[in-house]
A = this chain, B = another copy of it.
Amino acid sequence: MFESAELGHTIAKAVYKKEVPPLREALLDAQLEVVEKAEFPVIILVNGVEGAGKGETVNLLNEWMDPRHIETHAFGPMSEDERMHPEMWRFWRRLPKKGKVGIFFGSWYSEPILKRVEGTLRKGDLEDRIEQIVRLERMLANDGVLFVKFWFHVSKKAQRARFHELESDPKTSWRVSPEDWKRAEKYEEFRKVCARVLRQTSTPEAPWTVVEGTDARYRSLTVGKVLLETMRARLDSPLPKRTGRVPPSVPAIDKLYLLRTLDMTQRVEEKHYDVELERLQGKLNKLSRNSRFSKASVVCMFEGWDAAGKGGAIRRITGALDARQYHVTPIAAPTEDERAQPYLWRFWRHLPPKGRFTIYDRSWYGRVLVERVEGFAPPEDWMRAYGEINDFEEQLVQNDVILVKFWLHITKEEQLKRFKEREKTGFKRFKITADDWRNREKWESYEVAACDMVDRTSTEIAKWTLVEANDKHHARIKTLKVLTDAIEKAID
């Protein structure tokens, strides 16, 4: 992996002086096109060994391009806030918007590599992390992200020489820290682990470029040219439009849909309801104040038909919680900022820190429900969303998120009754719009989409709970019960 980066590449000063001005000009032109099109973001990963010019490269890129459209993010040890969230949260929240260049100095590669070198991550676990990274990058690339991944390398000998040179001058000795030396001692192990990781993560959508870092001119020119050509390639031949060609999805030919098998007659009587509600709310409140809960968090997600009673069920949950402990996130059409990001970005953004709840009123499943049925997302996009969603949910669960997914189900007749009632009652009128009537006309398409969704995303790590909601009492008691049971099980 690193053989060619230990050859002692150099570029003569005269060559450099001649080549840099047109390169900078071309880079700026390309960047300007990226900015103006605002169709995709560029993510530049800057990784590699110490003393190979990573920091200098970050400065160089900010000098050679228009820094107003570059965001540089350096990732060191996690902050408390970051430790309170799933691992990848810190990267998701820093993703550049379409049209922007994001330089990630240190990235999702740093921590697993360092831990493996230190011996605190087992080989098998490293493999899992690599697999996750590949899937993440593929997903982002599918969403349009242009990756430029640089790995800066110097040989062990060159590294030591560089450190000694800097240290010998009191004016530059501050550039070498004791940690640098400590890390240099593990050079060989580091090299071995990195070679493996790089090999496994050099994918067609996000290949690595290994750059020998010893000679600043060689390094800078290489970085500039690779970046330029990668940007130009995308600008000159944009990603093909989605063709819409995916294998057709054939709903059960006997129309025995999962949702039609629910027993919709289930009811909870008023008297029993009041008692059960207080009991379950009390239990939920107690669980939320359990000291072991401070190491977990809850993501509770509601999908279901219009007028199925999501809001009411949510309020029965929040009514039992300290207001500081939860956040309800209603999902509507994405804002400008959200549209400029990959699809899952806005859901990552609202994830709760440990010890807290986020309740999503509608969710990431919009992609395979409304976006599928209404044709907002081309078939390839919603088709691959099942896998992306499963990956996302797997990450949550692996990071001690208690994930609870509800589909609130009502019959078509019950919906009609509720729509009419809403129209009659003044203060409920806002809950019923022309959209709701339109969606109702597509009941069968939504039904197929919902059944498909449950089949493809009710995994062993994140099961769906189908809630019979023709009776509101039953729906509220069932959601509260499933939620409290899930928390109880998780923290026991």
Contacts and interface: CB of A to CB of B under 8 A. Distances in A.
A323 B75 CA distance: 9
A282 B166 CA distance: 12
Contact of A324 (B106, B278, B353): B106
26 contacts: A22-B426, A25-B427, A28-B427, A28-B430, A32-B430, A55-B323, A59-B315, A62-B318, A68-B330, A68-B332, A72-B323, A72-B327, A72-B328, A74-B322, A74-B323, A75-B324, A79-B80, A80-B81, A105-B323, A106-B324, A170-B282, A171-B279, A174-B281, A174-B282, A174-B286, A335-B337
Contact of A323 (B22, B58, B336): B58
A50 to B, nearest CB: 12
Nearest to A55: B323
Interface in A424-469: 425-427, 429-430
Chain A: interface secondary structure? helix
A171 B280 CA distance: 9
A38 B323 CA distance: 27
Interface of A: 21-22, 24-25, 27-28, 32, 55, 58-59, 62-64, 66-68, 72, 74-76, 79-81, 105-106, 170-175, 275, 278-279, 281-282, 285-286, 311, 315, 318-319, 322-325, 327-328, 330, 332, 335-337, 353, 361, 425-427, 429-430
A426 B25 CA distance: 5
Count the copies.
Answer: 2
Contacts of A425: 21
B328 A67 contact: yes
Nearest to A27: B427
Nearest to A22: B426
Contacts of A171: 275, 278-279, 282
Given A21-B426, A315-B59, A336-B337, A324 B286 contact: no
